[in-house]
Amino acid sequence: MREGRNGTEVTGRLGERAEGETAFVADNMLGRLAGWLRIFGCDTLYVKSGDDSDIARIAESEERIVLTRDKQLVKRRGISAYYVDDIRPVEQLKLVVHRFNLRFEEERMRCSRCNGTLRIKKREEVGPIVPDGVLERNESFYMCSSCGRVYWKGSHWNRIREVVEKALAD
Ligand SMILES: [Zn+2]
């Protein structure tokens, strides 16, 4: 979490962006979409609170594409912005995936909560953090390099696959 100059609240993390990788900054209407884009492997900041000029400033200084539900913001000069023309998060993801030709690669997934990159960890490395039952049923885990949250392919994994397939479908 970063606090901006005038109380702007932004979740996400800077750095570790690959050359030429598309990076986004999402407005406060698009929190769920931001989470999905992170799972998709896209460096995505989420401006939870803050006005148009805060978003524009971040977009400009960090070369991010603005994702917004605000038609006024799209018209703003000096930034690249995309108007996300749907209110359903999965449909929003689909629009963005198609507009920016995004691909899903499991190795590139980011932490849906904080945008940190995930590192593959072995069972013994997450032993102290993960409940025993989960540890027994899984062999590999992902740990967020930023907030330390651990992920594994539990029951929610099917849901993720389903949404990814939906977003990639024509
Ligand atoms: Zn994290």
- How high is the pLDDT of residue 41? 94
Phi, psi (deg, nearest 5) at residue 101: 50, 50
Residues 6+ positions from 88 with CB-CB distance below 8 Å: none
Q: Identify which of 142, 146, 104 has the alpha carbon closest to the alpha carbon of residue 12.
A: 146
- How high is the pLDDT of residue 155? 79
- The band of 170, judged by pLDDT with boundaries at 50, 70 and 90, is confident
Taking the model in full, what pTM does it have?
0.87
- Whole-number Å distance, alpha carbon 15 to ligand 1 midpoint, is 14
Q: Which residue did the predictor score with more confidence, 101 or 9?
A: 101
What span, in angstroms and rounded, lies between the C-alpha atoms of 35 and 53? 23
- Whole-number Å distance, alpha carbon 45 to ligand 1 midpoint, is 12
Q: Which residue did the predictor score with more confidence, 11 or 108?
A: 108
- Whole-number Å distance, alpha carbon 111 to ligand 1 midpoint, is 5
